[in-house]
């Protein structure tokens, strides 16, 4: 019998979707979910689960979909992952669970992420039935409210701890709120999955900068243990001439204005954003794609400039595809060397063409400038999306906390820092990674925090 | 939500408000500021903390854009949506020696806590307090109390000496040994002060009032060219070395959203009509 194709994800038409911020991927209907799930072979020795950073019992939840048991399927996922509506949307399934599916060899793996999302969307607004251990009234703090801290908080709350989350901004969610755009991860969903944490008894404190409002030392007096999930929040810049001209944004600023502050609805919301006509986005990771697609929706003609070739793009393939469908141009093997402007505003990016040399220590071919190939790309806005680095605030107030030369927190194999009882995980430890890797780190750290407290 | 417990008009369009925020009041150090989100659909703006008491932070601001006008309209008992802080570096606790503290316009609100701090650290302080005219001279009494000498300048000569703060500074620099100049006020004033002290190699700190969004070093909105690179005012400032600041990029950045600010203001005016 020939292998059936994956059920395609219904999506907004590209022509329409570049005029709005509504979600692009619309989600499976029950019928589509049943059809896609029916393709799963229910392998006796499933390989997909090994591909999941939080070890969701994928075979079991898809089996439950096959039987039409959607509620049971949902709780099967929730045993391992408290945020399936978010991960079903933003996980790079194609390099994780779906890459490990036996059908991947034929190029048609089960659409595990889409099925995860289907169950979450189907069930998450119903009254939740999560079993938690009896409350032990032991206070634990999680600093930051991005994926790592949320996962740590959820798992500690389930074990009965009194968990307090601390967020510097006015809304929780970290990168889920300020970074990933509405059209990829609706904020209604982020808010809902975070609100479900409050149902588990987790307290969320916004407007608190740990390191400023309260020091880590103060928190240590109040809490038995502390998890630091502060992320890799500080923007990197190119460090080339003209980078502080008006009209040049870091991806973080651009996305925070649009996502967190809802500047795309200015003047209904007070935070403004500059709407460029010709926008250059530097970088080719997921954040670059998010920034490019956001600028497109604000009405710009957008060009992505990337110093390596298509094969090295760090972004998910689906994001690149969505960007190209939306009419975003790619200038590959191209690197900015300067920005030129007039009256304080950017007018062009001077770029140089690149070629790929021999592989570097990570196996990626190193881009080398081609001498004399400089030319200018005219633009009225630039968004620099070349990555982030750890935020230094905690470091300033906690000099005793051991860091790597890059500013990441050093932890042992049990996620504990050099300060006893203080744990850390997610991007602040590993550098920029994915949502699911941070969730996985928070979840594992919770196990060791529990052990630490019970052993103490 | 943060309750507005008291408000006082200090000068035309300039308010001092007291807001209940004991946790911020406790953590506050001179040099710190707060980020205020006036209402749910508002923007995050940096504001000066003028003083604190056990329960409250005292914020001084001038009605300029929509957000500050909305704050100015709030009544005692009203709730401010969000206040985050304190953020920014605390000012160093150091005895510099002879300090000239220059406060221009509403910058006087920041000069008071920093001046008190410098005074407490044993510095000899000369203050140059500048304003456009007499009714805009702020906090004269408070600044008088902490200074050896207070010089007032007004652009129109309606009070004190007619002229700019830089005129008064020039005279001091030619007659006295100055160990530190601290300038707080409009960016053009702080640039002029820095230009004046640079050839004389007098250490000069300025308190930058960059446009900010997050106030936590994440977004980069407040970045400014500094030395050979770029720093974020919110976490490396607000007090920075005036001789290292790239004023040529800072000044245009401050007016980046001029058009949008005008749109917001005109809509606000229409609403209140």
Look at residues A180, A227, A220 and name the one whose alpha carbon lies nearest to residue A202: A227
CA distance A169 to A167: 6
Q: What is the residue range of B41's domain?
A: 2-87
- Overall number of domains in chain B: 2
ipTM: 0.96
pTM score, whole prediction: 0.95
Asked whether the beta carbons of B187 and B247 are under 8 A apart, the reply is: yes
Q: Could you identify the residue written with the tokens 């998910």?
A: A316
The CATH number covering residue B188 comes to 3.40.50.80
Inspect the interface and report whether the beta carbons of A256 and B219 lie closer than 8 Å.
yes
CA gap A350, A371 in Å, rounded? 13
Nearest to A272 among B23, B260, B267 (CB): B260
Give chain A positions within 8 Å (CB) of B216: 168-169, 209, 233, 391, 393
A23, A16 Cβ separation under 8 angstroms: no
Identify whether residues B81 and B206 lie together within a single domain. Answer: no
Angle formed by the axes of helices B165-175 and B187-197, to 10°?
A: 20
- Phi, psi dihedrals of residue B207, rounded to the nearest 5°: -110, 105
Q: Whole-angstrom Cα distance, residue A327 to residue A323?
A: 7
B214 is in an annotated binding site: yes
CATH H-level superfamily of A235-384: FAD/NAD(P)-binding domain (3.50.50.60)
B44 plus B146 within the same structural domain: no
Cβ neighbours of A10 (radius 10 Å): 11
| One domain, residues B41 and B133 | no
Element (H, E) at A56: none
Q: Is residue B270 part of a domain?
A: no
Using DSSP, state whether A14 is helix, strand or coil.
helix
Contact A270 B267 (CB under 8 A): no
Nearest by CB to A244, from B84, B217, B225: name it: B225
The CA–CA distances, whole Å, from B237 to A39, A399, B158, B182, B201 equal 58, 19, 34, 13, 21
Q: Which two tokens mark A173?
A: 């969610």
Q: Tens of pLDDT along B147-197?
A: 999 999 999 999 999 999 999 999 999 999 999 999 999 999 999 999 999
What crossing angle do the helices spanning A187-199 and A147-158 adopt, rounded to 10°?
A: 30
Mark yes or no for CB contact B220/A246 under 8 Å: no
Would you list the domain boundaries of chain A? 14-123, 139-233+390-454, 235-384
Instruction: State the nearest Cα–Cα gap between B215 and chain A, in angstroms.
Output: 9
Residue whose structure tokens are 């976490």: B235
Domain membership of residue B93 (yes or no) is no
- Does residue A92 sit in helix, strand or coil? coil
Say if strands B45-52 and B56-62 run parallel, antiparallel, or are unpaired: antiparallel
Residues B67 and B165 in one domain: no
| Residue A1: predicted pLDDT | 56
Decide yes or no: CATH 1.10.1060.10 for domain A14-123.
yes
Measured CB to CB, residues of chain A less than 8 Å from chain B are: 168-170, 178, 206-209, 212-214, 233-235, 237, 239, 243-246, 249-250, 252-253, 256-257, 261-262, 266-272, 274, 343-345, 391-393, 396
Q: Where among B63, B87, B111 does a domain terminate?
A: B87
Q: Is B61 annotated as a binding-site member?
A: yes
Count CA atoms closer than 13 A to A27's CA, side-chain side: 19
Return the percentage of chain B with pLDDT > 90, whole number. 97
Supply A41's token pair: 């072979």
Question: What is the pLDDT at residue A360?
Answer: 82
Any domain includes B52: yes
Residue that terminates a domain, selected from B87, B120, B146: B87
Chain A nearest C-alpha distance from B149 (Å): 34
To the question of whether residue B121 is assigned a binding role by annotation, the answer is: no
CATH number at residue B42: 2.40.30.10
Of B93, B141, B89, B143, whose CA–CA distance to B116 is shortest?
B143
Is B225 in contact with B205 (CB distance < 8 Å)?
no
pLDDT at A420: 96
Structure tokens at A75: 């709780």
CB contact burial B122-144 (16+ within 10 A = b; e otherwise): ebbbbbbbbbeeeebbbbbebbe
The answer to whether the beta carbons of residues A281 and A262 sit under 8 Å apart is no
Query: Residue A412: is the preceding peptide bond cis (ω within 30°)?
Result: no
Q: Quick one: closest CA in A to B65, which residue? A: A270
Which residue, among B64, B72, B267, has the nearest Cα to A267 in the 3D structure?
Answer: B267
Q: Do B82 and A274 touch (CB under 8 A)?
A: no
The answer to whether B234 is annotated as binding is yes
In a domain, B119, yes or no: yes
Whole-number pLDDT of residue A2: 64
Is residue B92 situated within a structural domain?
no
The answer to whether the beta carbons of residues A55 and A45 sit under 8 Å apart is no
Nearest chain A residue (CA) to B248? A344
pLDDT, mean of residues B215-227: 95
- Residues of B with Cβ-Cβ distance to A393 under 8 angstroms: 216-217, 235
Residue B155 lies in a domain: yes
Which CATH number among 3.90.660.20, 3.50.50.60, 3.90.550.10, 1.20.1250.20 corresponds to the domain A139-233+390-454? 3.50.50.60
What pLDDT score does A418 carry? 97
How many CB atoms sit inside 10 A of residue A355's CB? Answer: 13
The closest of B71, B54, B90, B92 to B4, measured between CA atoms, is B71
Residues paired with B70 in a beta bridge: none
In a domain, B128, yes or no: yes
The number of angstroms, rounded, from the C-alpha of A291 to the middle of its chain's C-alpha atoms is: 13
In this prediction, residue A359 carries a pLDDT of 86
- Mean pLDDT, each 10-residue run in order, chain A (456 residues): 84 96 97 97 94 95 98 96 96 93 93 98 93 94 97 97 98 96 97 94 97 96 97 92 96 97 96 97 97 98 96 92 97 98 96 93 88 97 96 91 95 97 96 90 97 89
* Fold: same for A14-123 and A139-233+390-454: no
Cα B215 to its chain centre, rounded Å, is: 15
Res B49 pLDDT > 90 = yes
Determine how many CB atoms are found less than 10 A away from the CB of residue A332. Answer: 18
Residue A116: what pLDDT? 98
Average pLDDT, chain B: 96
Whether residues B198 and B234 fall in one domain? yes
Cβ separation of B85 and A213 shorter than 8 Å?
Answer: yes
Note whether residue B33 is domain-resident. Answer: yes
């Amino acid at each position: 019998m020939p292998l059936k194709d994956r059920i395609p994800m219904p999506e907004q038409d590209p022509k329409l979707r570049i005029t709005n911020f509504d979600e692009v991927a619309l989600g499976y209907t029950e019928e589509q979910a049943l059809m896609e799930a029916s393709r799963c072979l229910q392998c006796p020795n499933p390989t997909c689960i090994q591909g999941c950073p939080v070890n969701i019992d994928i075979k079991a939840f898809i089996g439950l979909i096959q039987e039409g048991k959607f509620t049971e399927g949902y709780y099967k996922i929730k045993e391992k992952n408290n945020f399936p509506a978010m991960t079903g949307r933003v996980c790079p399934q194609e390099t994780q669970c779906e890459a490990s599916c036996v059908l991947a060899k034929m190029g048609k793996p089960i659409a595990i992420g889409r099925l995860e999302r289907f169950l979450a969307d189907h069930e998450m607004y119903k009254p939740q039935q999560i079993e938690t251990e009896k409350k032990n009234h032991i206070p634990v703090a999680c600093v930051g409210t991005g994926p790592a801290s949320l996962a740590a908080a959820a798992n500690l709350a389930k074990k009965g701890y009194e968990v307090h989350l601390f967020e510097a901004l006015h809304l929780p969610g970290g990168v889920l709120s300020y970074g990933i755009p509405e059209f990829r991860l609706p904020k209604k969903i982020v808010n809902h999955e975070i609100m479900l944490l409050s149902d588990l008894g987790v307290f969320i404190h916004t407007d608190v900068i740990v390191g400023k409002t309260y020091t880590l030392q103060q928190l240590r007096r109040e809490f038995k243990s502390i998890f630091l999930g502060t992320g890799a929040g500080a923007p990197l810049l190119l460090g080339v001439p003209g980078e502080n001209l008006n009209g040049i944004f870091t991806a973080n600023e651009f996305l925070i204005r649009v996502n967190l502050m809802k500047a795309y609805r200015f003047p209904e919301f007070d935070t403004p954003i500059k709407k460029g006509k010709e926008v250059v986005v530097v970088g080719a990771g997921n954040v670059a794609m998010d920034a490019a697609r956001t600028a497109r929706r604000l009405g710009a003609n957008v060009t992505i400039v990337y110093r390596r070739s298509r094969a090295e793009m760090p972004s998910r393939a689906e994001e690149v595809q969505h960007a190209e469908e939306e009419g975003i141009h790619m200038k590959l093997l191209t690197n900015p060397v300067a920005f030129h402007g007039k009256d304080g505003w950017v007018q062009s990016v001077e770029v140089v063409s690149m070629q790929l040399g021999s592989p570097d220590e990570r196996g990626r071919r190193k881009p080398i400038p081609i001498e004399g190939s400089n030319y200018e790309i005219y633009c009225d806005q630039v968004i620099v999306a070349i990555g982030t680095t750890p935020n230094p605030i905690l470091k300033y107030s906690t000099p005793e906390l051991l860091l790597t030369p890059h500013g990441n927190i050093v932890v042992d194999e049990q996620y504990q820092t050099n300060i006893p009882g203080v744990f850390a995980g997610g991007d602040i430890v590993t550098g920029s990674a994915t949502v699911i890797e941070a969730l996985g780190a928070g979840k594992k750290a919770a196990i060791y925090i529990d052990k630490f407290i019970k052993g103490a | 939500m943060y309750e507005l417990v008291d408000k006082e008009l200090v000068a035309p369009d300039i308010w001092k408000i007291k807001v209940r925020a004991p946790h911020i009041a406790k953590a506050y150090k001179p040099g710190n500021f707060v980020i205020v989100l006036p209402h749910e659909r508002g923007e995050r703006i940096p504001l000066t903390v003028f003083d604190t008491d056990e329960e409250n932070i005292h914020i001084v601001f001038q009605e300029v854009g929509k957000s500050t006008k909305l704050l100015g309209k709030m009544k005692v008992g009203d709730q401010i949506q969000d206040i985050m802080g304190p953020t920014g570096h605390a000012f160093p606790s150091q005895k510099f020696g002879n300090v000239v503290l220059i406060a221009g316009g509403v910058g006087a609100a920041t000069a008071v806590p920093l001046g008190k701090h410098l005074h407490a650290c044993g510095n000899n302080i000369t203050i140059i307090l500048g304003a456009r005219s007499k009714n805009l001279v702020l906090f004269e009494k408070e600044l008088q109390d902490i200074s050896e000498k207070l010089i007032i300048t007004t652009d129109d000569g309606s009070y004190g000496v007619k002229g700019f703060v830089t005129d008064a500074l020039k005279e001091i620099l030619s007659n006295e040994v100055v160990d530190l100049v601290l300038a707080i006020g409009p960016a053009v004033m702080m640039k002029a002060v820095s230009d004046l002290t640079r050839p004389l190699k007098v250490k000069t700190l300025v308190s930058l009032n960059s446009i900010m969004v997050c106030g936590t070093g994440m977004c980069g909105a407040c970045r400014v060219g500094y030395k050979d690179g770029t720093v974020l005012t919110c976490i490396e400032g607000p007090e920075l070395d005036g001789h290292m600041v790239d004023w040529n990029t800072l000044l245009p950045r401050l007016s980046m959203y001029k058009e949008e600010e005008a749109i917001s203001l005109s809509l606000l005016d229409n609403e209140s009509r």
